[in-house]
């Protein structure tokens, strides 16, 4: 006799209901569009680095562009876009807190950010 039988549970796997997985699933084209957007943001970062007029605002610009890339990756490739809004809020809150700690640390060390 198995432990699962003693507990009253079946030892056989139950089929997953199709209704639970009938939500919107992104197509390959959607993922390609997101990848192209990520590549575009990355090229913007590289271009910004070489523009001398923007040298004073590099940290702020890179934080902003990195935040965009973070949200795209989390929402699409980690499938957070299709989960509960609470999870989206928690990830966004974590991102804002991380940027806040980074800016506070630079300001404390008098790095000239603020």
Query: In this predicted model, what pLDDT tens digit does every residue of 83-108 receive, in sequence order?
Result: 888 888 888 898 889 888 988 888 88
pLDDT of residue 49: 94
Cβ-count burial 42-66 (b if 16+ within 10 Å, e if not)? eeeeeebeeeeeeeeeeeebeeeee
What domain range includes position 83? 25-108
The model's pTM is: 0.61
Radius of gyration, alpha carbons of the chain: 22
- Dig out the tokens for 95 from the structure: 């991102």
In a domain, 55, yes or no: yes
In a domain, 10, yes or no: no
106: how many CB neighbours lie within 10 A of its CB? Answer: 14
State the average pLDDT over residues 2-17: 55
State the average pLDDT over residues 16-39: 77
pLDDT of residue 81: 78
In a domain, 2, yes or no: no
> Mean pLDDT, the chain, as a whole number?
80
pLDDT of residue 95: 83
pLDDT of residue 25: 79
Residue 18 and residue 27: Cα distance in Å, rounded? 18
In a domain, 49, yes or no: yes
State the average pLDDT over residues 49-65: 90
In a domain, 96, yes or no: yes
In a domain, 7, yes or no: no
Res 10 pLDDT > 70: no
pLDDT of residue 92: 83
Q: Give how many domains the chain has, as a whole number.
A: 1
In a domain, 83, yes or no: yes
In 3D space, the residue among 108, 94, 91, 106 whose CA is nearest the CA of residue 59 turns out to be: 106
In a domain, 5, yes or no: no
pLDDT of residue 101: 92
Helix ranges (H only) for 1-114 are 3-6, 28-50, 58-72, 85-108
């Amino acid at each position: 006799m198995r432990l699962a039988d003693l507990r009253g549970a079946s030892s056989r796997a139950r089929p997953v209901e199709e209704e639970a997985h009938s939500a919107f699933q992104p197509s390959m084209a959607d993922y390609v569009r997101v990848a192209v957007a990520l590549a575009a943001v990355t090229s913007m970062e590289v271009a910004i680095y070489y523009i001398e007029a923007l040298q004073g605002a590099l940290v702020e610009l890179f934080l902003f562009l990195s935040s965009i890339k973070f949200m795209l990756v989390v929402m699409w490739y980690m499938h957070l876009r299709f989960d509960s809004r609470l999870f989206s809020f928690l990830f966004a809150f974590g991102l804002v807190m991380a940027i806040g700690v980074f800016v506070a640390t630079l300001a404390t060390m008098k790095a000239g950010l603020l």
